[in-house]
Amino acid sequence: MHETPAPDSPARTARRGARKRLTADDWADAALAALAERGLAGVAVEPLAARLGTTKGSFYWHFANRDALVAAALARWEERSTERVIRAMEAAEPDPAARLGALLRGATAMAAEDPLEVRLFAAGDHPELAAALTRVTERRVNYLAHLFELLGFPAEQARHRGLLAYTSYLGHAQLAHATPSAVPADPAYLDAVMEALLRP
C-alpha cells in the first residue's frame, strides 16, 4: 500500500521548493514593471499572474483587490526611487554640491533607461497615483532645497532652485522617451545645468 507523505515530509518540501513562493513584493515589482511598459492599464491581475507563473489565487492571498496592489507598488516605488536614493547619497557624499551633481546625473541616466516615472506622471489623474506623486515630488524638492540651503542659499531661493532642478530632471526624462534626439548626449550638458543651478 502506498503511503501518503506527511505535510512536512522531505518529498512535500522538495515539491514546494521547486516553486518559489511569491511575496507581496514580487507582485508589487511585477505591477511596477507592467506600469513601466503599458501604463496603469497594464496593471491587471490575470496578465500579472501569467507573468509570474502563478494563479490569481496567489494574488488574492496578498491583496484584497487591484487598488491594494497599485498602492503597494507605489509604496515600493517611493521607497526605492526616493528614500533609498536619499539615504545612499547621504552615506556616500558629504559635499552638498557633489551630492547635487551625483543626484542629477544618476537620476537623469536612470530615467532615460527606465520609462516608469514618465508613465507615472502621465497617469497623474488617477487618485492613488496623484497622491503618491505629490508625496514624492514634495520629498524630492524639499531634499534638493535642503542641499541648496547647505550651500548657503536663503530658504526661499533654495526652494526655487530645488524646484528648478527637479523640473529640469523631469523635462529631461520626458524628452529622453518622447524625442530622444532632442536630448544632448554630451555629459557636459548636465555639467552646464549644474553650473547654472549653483550660480549665485
pLDDT tens-place string over residues 11-61: 343 334 435 789 999 999 999 999 999 988 899 999 999 999 999 999 999
pLDDT digits (tens, 9 = 90+) for 107-149: 998 888 889 999 999 888 888 899 999 999 999 999 999 999 9
Across the chain, mean pLDDT equals 88
Contact status, residue 69 vs residue 63, Cβ threshold 8 Å = yes
Whole-number Å distance between alpha carbons of 91 and 177 = 31
What letter does residue 124 receive in the DSSP assignment? T
Find all residues with CB under 8 Å of 62, minimum gap 6, and list them. 22, 23, 24, 27
Q: Is 53 left (phi over 0), alpha (psi -120 to 50) or beta?
A: left
| Cα dist from 144 to 3, 72, 80, 154, 198, whole Å | 66, 26, 17, 13, 12
At residue 19, the pLDDT reads: 53
Question: Residue 183: is its pLDDT beyond 60?
Answer: yes
Whether 89 and 103 have beta carbons less than 8 Å apart is answered as yes
Confidence bin at 9 (pLDDT 50/70/90): very low
Q: How far is residue 125 from each of residues 39, 132, 181, 190, measured CA to CA in Å?
A: 12, 11, 28, 31
- The grid cell for 128 is 492613488
pTM given for the model: 0.84
Q: What is the pLDDT of residues 138-180, one digit of tens each?
A: 999 999 999 999 999 999 999 999 999 999 999 989 998 899 8
